Structure 1
Amino acid sequence: MSVLSLAACGGDEAPAAAAAPSAQAGGTDLAAAGCPATVVIQTDWNPEAEHGGIYQLLGPDPTIDAGSKSVSGNLVDSEGASTGVQVEIRSGGPAIGFQAVTAQMYTDDAITLGYVDTDEAIQLSDTQPTVGVLAQLDKSPQMIMWDPATHPDVKTIADLGKTDTIVRYFEGSAYMDYLVGSGVLKESQLDGGYDGTPAAFVASGGADAQQGYASAEPFIYENEVDAWGKPVEYQLIHDAGFQVYASSLSVRGDKVEELSGCLKALIPVMQQADLDYVADPAAANALIVELVTEYDTGWQYSEAVADYSAQTMAELEIVGNGTDGTHGSFDTDRLQTLIEQTTPIFTEQGTAPKAGLTPEDIATNEFLDTSIALN
């Protein structure tokens, strides 16, 4: 399979003020590379282990701002040395009124990088283009789960489609339009009323299936939902044919050029942080759980869930290498397939992608260090 090698063209905005080169920086001087004094990362949800790699970037004693739901501190490299700039990690979801990260990036010019799913990048490519620069997750953890005791013959999502089992999900999810359009599931099975809680799944007594994340719900439902308290089985949406890059670190399309020097130095630091998190997630997970408590948005997230998530993402290769063997790379063929799968869906929804959209418009491998890979 081919992989991307081209960057999207940048705009002509005046570049943001860069940090002054720092004599205190370690082996990687991001200030000298032209990075802003504070690299601002906008996440797509409350703090969670799926974001572990970016929390790995924070040096000791970060500053927690419970009001703005953000944490900041020295941006450090794999050896713990300062890179000469700060990093600020902002919570998403309720912290930004459940607004899409792309919209937030186009509202707040201070954001350097944001988490953008590649189907979102396709959908908004004509009005708010973004370019993915690091695929921290090679597979989306999104899945559909079911009760194996109630459905002993179901092993895949396609098996669910051969039954009349209700499948509960968030209305408007592109993957569900794909699953129905490709004949994997039937329209008559769908219930778009999922509210993020286990109540309906539990109330069905195992009769219904439901969306979730492989890196969270299987553990939560078995160990933390007292009314359920038993295993579920699931299949990743990725393995059912909808292979989005979830939460890929992205920049605005009109900022790629002005940030190119910074990204060339920053992205390898972030690649290595992902690897360091996989190798030893304990410190980042402890911070994630602390942040959830401090932010107090109603989101519940235990250290046990964080530990399960880190382990599961490694085991399922949700965090992994691209087809070229490099961690964080995007595959051209996979992106082209996703463009072909989603363009009719988004066009029908009234949010048609940019005419003639190509993989190079929505992602680039230009800034990756190709030698950095998970073993």
Structure 2
Amino acid sequence: MKTQSILILAFIFVIVGGCSNRDDQNIPGNKEKVIVQLDWVPEPEHGGLYQALAKGYFADAGLDVTLLPGGANIAVIESVAVGQADVGQSASTQVITAASRDLPIKNIASVFHQIPTALMLHEDNPIDSFSELDKKTIMARPEALYIPFIKEKYGIDFDVIPQNFGLGMLINDPKFIQEGFYIAEPFFAEKEGVKLKFLRLSEAGYEVYATLFANDNFLESRPEVAAAFVDAFIKGWADYLEGDPTPAHEAIKAARNGEVDDDFLNFSREMIITENLGRGNPKKNETYGSINKSRLANEIKMLEALGAIESGSVSVEEILYE
């Protein structure tokens, strides 16, 4: 398996264009360069990163951070694994799955304590629980690991049509069911006069982090830089959600060339706050950036049970950097 993974990485390296010449990590002003690959186009889910960048928290820590926008066709895991980027944002399950195939990456901090993924339905759709999805059709990413999890947990079956990342079918069909982020898509649906409700994956017991993860070589060769990056990110995340979000929002709007406005950014941020995604639950000893080892162990067991990874192929210590 190790040899196969090395060959896969070599192929990915060619596909993404290889690594840029970064022999000299020091840049003028003695700042260390860190490249971050986002999982999607800039949105409030990246607010902590943009706040830390805009408020100078990264710079104050001696870092020169570049945030690369993501999208449907961006291979975040692979980009970080080959060193095209130092840090990426993804779901913890994806990091675990990749690490089980010997890709050299580790989780370094939580972004959200629960991924804000849900199945979205019209508010007047009679379906109110996952068990009622039996024999229905949903639009989702066919490879999404929550699909076999839901089917097995509730003893149901349903059809999946591939996600197109648009809302047209959901808006126009009152019976349509689609995967989405409940911190984002509802805003755009309501602008079209459609109110949505959600079946949150976390409510089904599918407890998965949204995390920042990093390349092993970056972590091993530049541990002080990695620690400074995480500290500045956490400071930015707390400031974004508890302080004035304007610096991050202005930076996001600039990165999106005006494609999003303050109404959307404020809506999404408020949803993140209301759902307590960033800070987490203090009663569970959760806070900005924290990752619980027991939860990661449970994720590993879940993925093993689903057949997504081989039993014993990865441990908590192999997927979490401390």
- Please indicate the TM-score interval, normalised by the length of the shorter structure: 0.7 to 0.9
Deviation string, structure 1 residues 236-291 (Cα, Å, up to 9, x no partner): 21221111112x11112343222222222221111110001112222211221221
TM-score by length of 2: 0.83
For 1:275 and 1:341, how far apart are their aligned partners in 2?
A: 30
Residue 253 of structure 2: aligned partner: 289
1:209 aligned onto 2:168? no
Residue 333 of structure 1: aligned partner: 294
Paired-residue identity, %: 20
Residue 169 of structure 2: aligned partner: 200
Contact 1:144 1:157 in 2 (8 A): no
Instruction: Tell me which amino acid in the other structure corresponds to 1:84.
Output: G
Deviation at 1:165, TM superposition (A): 3.8
CA distance 1:288–1:59, shift in 2 (3 Å): closer
Residue 234 of structure 1: aligned partner: 198
Deviation at 1:346, TM superposition (A): 4.9
TM-score by length of 1: 0.72
Contact 2:37 2:69 in 1 (8 A): yes
CA distance 1:341–1:37, shift in 2 (3 Å): same
1:124 aligned onto 2:98? yes
Q: How many residues align?
A: 297
Residues 198-347 of structure 1: matches in 2 within 5 Å?
A: 198-204=167-173, 206-223=174-191, 226=192, 229-246=193-210, 248-279=211-242, 280-293=244-257, 300-321=259-280, 323-347=284-308
Residue 169 of structure 1: aligned partner: 140
Contact 2:61 2:229 in 1 (8 A): no
Residue 10 of structure 1: aligned partner: none
CA distance 1:353–1:277, shift in 2 (3 Å): farther
Residue 314 of structure 2: aligned partner: 357
For 1:150 and 1:255, how far apart are their aligned partners in 2?
A: 48
Deviation at 1:140, TM superposition (A): 0.6
For 1:305 and 1:345, how far apart are their aligned partners in 2?
A: 36
Give the structure with the larger helix fraction: 2
Residue 67 of structure 1: aligned partner: none
- 2:130 corresponds, among 157, 162, 177, to 157
The more displaced of 269-278 and 332-341 is 332-341
CA distance 1:77–1:193, shift in 2 (3 Å): closer
SS in 2 for 1:135: strand
Deviation string, structure 1 residues 190-233 (Cα, Å, up to 9, x no partner): 222231112222342x112211111011221012xx3xx13111
Residues 83-122 of structure 1: matches in 2 within 5 Å?
A: 83-93=61-71, 98-107=73-82, 109-122=83-96
Q: Give the unaligned 5+ runs of structure 2.
A: 1-21
- 2:26 corresponds, among 14, 19, 24, to 19
Deviation at 1:21, TM superposition (A): 9.7
SS in 2 for 1:136: strand
Residues 40-119 of structure 1: matches in 2 within 5 Å?
A: 40-59=35-54, 76-77=56-57, 82-93=60-71, 98-107=73-82, 109-119=83-93
Contact 1:44 1:101 in 2 (8 A): yes
**Could you say what the CA RMSD is over the residues aligned between the two structures, in angstroms?**
2.5
Contact 2:41 2:71 in 1 (8 A): yes
SS in 2 for 1:124: helix
Contact 1:147 1:207 in 2 (8 A): yes
Deviation at 1:303, TM superposition (A): 2.7
For 2:124 and 2:77, how far apart are their aligned partners in 1?
A: 41
Residue 64 of structure 1: aligned partner: none
Q: Give the unaligned 5+ runs of structure 1.
A: 1-14, 23-30, 61-75, 295-299, 367-375
Off by >6 Å, runs of 4+ in structure 1: none
Deviation at 1:344, TM superposition (A): 4.3
